[in-house]
Amino acid sequence: MKILVINSGSSSLKYQLFQMPSDHPLCAGLVERIGVAGSDIQNHEQALQQVLNSLSTLGFINSPDEIDVVGHRVVHGGESFLGPTIITDEVKAQIKALFSLAPLHNQVSYTCIEVAEKTFPTAKQIAVFDTAYHQTLPDYAYRYAIPKKYYTGERIRKYGFHGTSHKYVGEQAAKYLGKTESKIITIHLGNGCSMAALLNSKSIETSMGFGPLSGLMMGTRSGDIDPSVIFHLLDHKGYTPADVNQLLNKASGLQGMAGSNDMRDVHRFAAEGDAEASLALAIYAYRIKLTIGAYAAVLNGLDAIVFTAGVGENDQLLRAAVCRDLSYLGIELDGVKNGQYNKEILEINRPEGKVKIMIIPTNEEVEIANQCYEMLHDK
């Protein structure tokens, strides 16, 4: 069974082609900096077209009907989708209905689904949702302290995102620990950033909420901000709701503070003496540290913290800043090991540290392919 997985992030499109059941890809690739100023690739449709052309020019597929399944990452599945789902017209309508809740993401996934349906008309199209893994949060974690009718009527609650990544690295960490019971914090730092508290490999708390805007500071998103700021801008400063949306989703975070959403740029600006870039780095790390403290309390203990995704895997300075002065919690980073990551699971704590600090490369594509394969096999 040949499965093509398409993972559309807010600024990138990753793909992998699998001959299942092997989870070693036949080919894999990444289109980066989509829609970023100065980039050749303006949108996800163009990016996907480029991927599909290269799959056939490079000879990985000779004809579209060789693809049995296209697995799509879809960010927002609301409360309806708990596992991999065959995409029907009704499912597409539900994904569309969630556009307003995840403005950077669901529209992009929807575009990718439509392009894939046209390109691979004989393949099964399957969606795997970021929200699915966080459906195990207890009600006191997912409900907001507002009247019940906003939950029952408007479905306003914490959903959480990046679930496929938190699940994948969390399960690897639990396996690595070799314990049946585990308390793990996963830290996904890509363009979007989120953390999850995992009790025995189930998500019990996470930092994103109703949409993928809350929690940590991100590439272009503010993360947590007092909602009073929004009322102030609307009521007294002439902003429209669309202006505020643009500000908090696209013109904040690293982009808004330091002028680039690419962490590599921000480090360069800071090294060149840009004080606001240095402050952006400090805030970015501080928010993660705050959340580690909170999640250690929620879990009532801690076996491991896991760094993953673009920044989490590759940025040793950031990891060092997060782990500094956390020895009270048993978090003690080994400065040498911290610099030795080479795309494989790596333990980077000092031997005397009670808590394992790990870098685990996320692989949302493998996780999606496995979920699709298992679903079709169980039938």
Ligand X SMILES: Nc1ncnc2c1ncn2[C@@H]1O[C@H](COP(=O)(O)OP(=O)(O)O)[C@@H](O)[C@H]1O
Q: Candidates 9, 103, 160, 253: give the one binding ligand UVW (CB under 6 A).
A: 9
191 contacts ligand UVW (rule: CB under 6 A): yes
Structure tokens at 295: 């999640």
- From residue 7 to residue 26, the character string flagging contacts with Mg ion as x (rule: CB under 5 A) and all else as - is --x-----------------
Residues 6+ away with beta carbon under 8 Å from 94: 77, 78, 80, 81
Q: Candidates 68, 130, 205, 313: give the one binding ligand UVW (CB under 6 A).
A: 130
256 contacts Mg ion (rule: CB under 5 A): no
Q: Candidates 44, 134, 157, 162: give the one binding ligand UVW (CB under 6 A).
A: 162
Closest to 70 (Cα-Cα) out of 22, 109, 24: 109
Structure tokens at 108: 């992009």
- From residue 249 to residue 268, the character string flagging contacts with ligand X as x (rule: CB under 6 A) and all else as - is -------------xxx----
- Could you tell me the smallest distance in angstroms from the CB atom of residue 68 to ligand X? 25
Residues 56-95 that bind ligand UVW (CB under 6 A): 75
Structure tokens at 205: 């708390």
Query: Which is closer to ligand X, CB of 34 or CB of 355?
Result: 34
Specify the stretch interacting with ligand UVW by CB under 6 A; choose among 35-43, 56-64, 190-198, 272-280.
190-198
Query: Which is closer to Mg ion, CB of 13 or CB of 67?
Result: 13
Query: Which is closer to Mg ion, CB of 10 or CB of 349?
Result: 10
Residues 6+ away with beta carbon under 8 Å from 275: none
Closest to 255 (Cα-Cα) out of 226, 285, 233, 284: 284
Q: 361, 190 in Cβ contact below 8 A? A: no
**What would you report as the CA-atom Rg of the chain, rounded to the nearest whole angstrom?**
20
**Residue of closest CB approach to ligand UVW:** 192
- Is 130 catalytic? The answer is yes
Q: 110, 80 in Cβ contact below 8 A? A: no
10 contacts ligand UVW (rule: CB under 6 A): yes
Structure tokens at 126: 């399957």
Q: Report residue 29 CA to chain centroid gap.
A: 18
Buried b (16+ CB within 10 A) or exposed e, 67-78: bbbbbbbbbbbb
Catalytic residue among 23, 40, 130, 139: 130
Query: Which is closer to Mg ion, CB of 111 or CB of 278?
Result: 111
Closest to 67 (Cα-Cα) out of 17, 24, 114: 17
Closest to 3 (Cα-Cα) out of 137, 116, 118, 130: 116
190 contacts ligand UVW (rule: CB under 6 A): yes
Structure tokens at 76: 């927002």
311 contacts ligand X (rule: CB under 6 A): yes
291 contacts ligand UVW (rule: CB under 6 A): no
CA dihedral over 110, 112, 115, 116, signed as positive or negative: negative
Closest to 136 (Cα-Cα) out of 201, 203, 79: 203
- Could you tell me the smallest distance in angstroms from the CB atom of residue 214 to ligand UVW? 11
Residues 190-209 that bind ligand X (CB under 6 A): 190-192
Choose the one of ligand UVW, ligand X, Mg ion, none that binds residue 162, judging by a C-beta under 5 to 8 angstroms depending on kind. Answer: ligand UVW
Residue numbers in the known binding site for ATP are 14, 188-192, 262-264, 310-314
212 contacts ligand X (rule: CB under 6 A): no
Choose the one of ligand UVW, Mg ion, ligand X, none that binds residue 303, judging by a C-beta under 5 to 8 angstroms depending on kind. Answer: none
**Residue of closest CB approach to Mg ion:** 9
d(CA 172, CA 358): 10
d(CA 88, CA 90): 5
The footprint of ligand X (CB under 6 A) covers 9-12, 190-192, 219, 262-264, 309-311, 314-315
Could you give the residue numbers annotated as active site? Answer: 130
The footprint of ligand UVW (CB under 6 A) covers 9-10, 75, 105, 130, 161-162, 190-192, 212
